[in-house]
Structures are given as structure tokens and as C-alpha cells.
């Protein structure tokens, strides 16, 4: 199932998100987390992306997916739930 991508100016995209809680997820959604993740990858593929956060499709969960592209680590997929930055490089890349 594909979700609708929200415009970047939508308040749900711009607001901070509470940590992902599996019990709250089960109360709000009629699917399990694995199916939700599969839907997220289907949505990302549909829109031609290489990453997608739950709030970009109107879901209030602190999680994102990335990868699933043949040119990036052999099509490997990543699911990040309640991510935290624990280290950062001083190196920068200008694009």
C-alpha cells in the first residue's frame, strides 16, 4: 500500500515527533510494523526516493527508511526507529 507524500510545508512534516512506541503504534494502526515498513518502501520507490521518514506520509512515528536502490550497497535496506546521533565526523562534503 502506497502512502501519500505530504508537501514539505505541511505542519506534520515540520513538527517534532515523539519517540516511536510499539504499544501506541498497535493502537493506531491496523497493520504490524513489518507491513508498515514494507508500505514505506513501496511509497519511497513510487516517488523515486532513497529515503523516507514516517512524518513525510503523515504518520507520527520517529522512524525512517533508506536504501533499496541497486546503486547503493547492493540494494540493502535500512529501517531506523528512534535514531540517535552518537558520533559525527568533522569532515564535510559540499554538494
Q: Residue 3: inside a domain, yes or no? A: no
- Total count of domains within the chain: 1
Predicted structure pTM score: 0.84
95 pLDDT higher than 70: no
pLDDT recorded at residue 24? 92
Mean confidence (pLDDT) of the chain: 92
Q: Please compute the mean of the pLDDT values over residues 38-57 and round it to a whole number.
A: 94
pLDDT recorded at residue 61? 94
List, in order, residues 6 or more apart from 60 with CB less than 8 Å away: 12, 17, 18, 54
Q: Please compute the mean of the pLDDT values over residues 31-55 and round it to a whole number.
A: 94
Q: Residue 90: inside a domain, yes or no? A: no
Question: What CATH number does residue 66 fall under?
Answer: 3.90.45.10
Q: How far is CA 23 from CA 9, 27, 28, 32, 64, in A?
A: 29, 6, 9, 11, 18
Among residues of the chain, what percentage have pLDDT more than 90? 78
Q: Residue 6: inside a domain, yes or no? A: no
Domain that includes residue 18, residue range: 11-81
The 10s digit of each residue's pLDDT in 64-89 is: 999 877 777 787 899 999 999 999 99
Do strands 77-81 and 51-53 pair parallel, antiparallel, or not at all (unpaired)?
unpaired
Amino acid at each position: 500500500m502506497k502512502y501519500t507524500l505530504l508537501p514539505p510545508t505541511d505542519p506534520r512534516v515540520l513538527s517534532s515527533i515523539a519517540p516511536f512506541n510499539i504499544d501506541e503504534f498497535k493502537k493506531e494502526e491496523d497493520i504490524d510494523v513489518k507491513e508498515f515498513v514494507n508500505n514505506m518502501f513501496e511509497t519511497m520507490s513510487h516517488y523515486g526516493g532513497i529515503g523516507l521518514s514516517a512524518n513525510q506520509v503523515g504518520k507520527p512515528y520517529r522512524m525512517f527508511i533508506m536504501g533499496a536502490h541497486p546503486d547503493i550497497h547492493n540494494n540493502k535496506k535500512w529501517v531506523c526507529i528512534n535514531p540517535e546521533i552518537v558520533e559525527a565526523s568533522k569532515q564535510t562534503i559540499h554538494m
